[in-house]
Chain A
């Protein structure tokens, strides 16, 4: 859609980076690029991409700082404890790399902008609260399903994993099914 190739943060206050943003890449080319990164990950590591595990490792590390006992009392935390070095987590390093790559790419394309993205009919505060709530719900879903858009939808689907394809289908069923309810948030 052409309107999206123009500087996008049309609502919300504008901060840095209101210079003309460059158009984003053709989605099919971007898909091939993403697919090649995923393929390279498979060829080198034997596993695909992921993201949620990085957040889990970070949560375990934070929990360990506050209360080491609660780390030991949770099976999930113990999985990410890594003998006291939860930050030396493969997926967390992947996310650090992703941050660097995206930052350089956004800066180069003049798409960096300190803004809150929302539709025109809600406030920044409402949008930020919904972003937090959405992150919470998405994390619970990803933990239950053992993966997110990266670990299940992309990585698993490309090797024809039945559970991953079901996950992918369920994500879009929920997204399209609930879109009308939160229409005000976006359009």
Chain B
């Protein structure tokens, strides 16, 4: 019965070895997607290349389908999976800040590692900025963690919130992905037909 962590007590060394192996897969996937490049990552915000949204949306739907299928077959206990507590203000404001940092910095934390491995100097600076940022957060705003807990809504998933089961949500996400794929190909087609917009006057 999956997840393995619910039945096996891994030693620290085993856990870290698992992290390293999964990390290799993570790095290969990011690099193959072309995410070792800040220009490719930020092109989505100028509607020139929608690879970021295509890859992320497809990854989310792939995992969702896998989780739903395995739990339906009785192979996976969804209740054993970790769900981060929801705090609408924290995820809303944090997401806005993060999006601004992503656009200005050109990377997100995971892709900056893939980009450093691809030789990008700006990714090294992004990673150093990340280190300074987490340091500043730890040094100056430790009380935010208490605020997060005090105002958290606890574990909150869409099925719990709406009463609509995970299967229906999975189906909705598949349909949304297909519609989005069609829309994104139209957007990219327009960017190709109007190269003047790319020069960006």
Contact = CB atoms under 8 A, between A and B. Distances in A.
Interface in B1-59: 2-6, 12, 15-16, 18-34, 36-40, 42-46, 48-51, 53-59
Interface in A142-180: 142-154, 156-176, 178-179
B120 A43 contact: no
Interface residues of A, number: 130
Contact of A174 (B59, B96, B122): B96
A25 B121 contact: no
A1 B26 contact: no
Interface residues of B, number: 136
Nearest to B184: A27
Interface in B117-137: 117-123, 125-137
A99 B148 contact: no
B122 A148 contact: no
Q: Is the interface of B mostly helix, strand, loop or mixed?
A: helix
A165 B49 contact: no
B19 to A, nearest CB: 4
Given A1-B191, A4-B40, A167-B91, A31 B33 contact: yes
A20 interface: no
A162 B91 CA distance: 10
A84 interface: no
Contacts of A147: 84
Contacts of A56: 134, 138
B183 interface: no
A106 B55 contact: no
B97 A63 contact: no
Interface of A: 1, 4, 8-9, 15-17, 24-25, 27-28, 30-49, 51-52, 54-56, 58-60, 62-63, 70, 74-77, 88, 90-91, 93-106, 109, 111-119, 124, 127-154, 156-176, 178-179, 182-183, 185-187
5 contacts: A17-B119, A44-B18, A74-B138, A98-B114, A128-B125
Given A28-B181, A103-B27, 7 more contacts: A30-B34, A33-B33, A75-B145, A104-B28, A134-B129, A137-B98, A138-B109
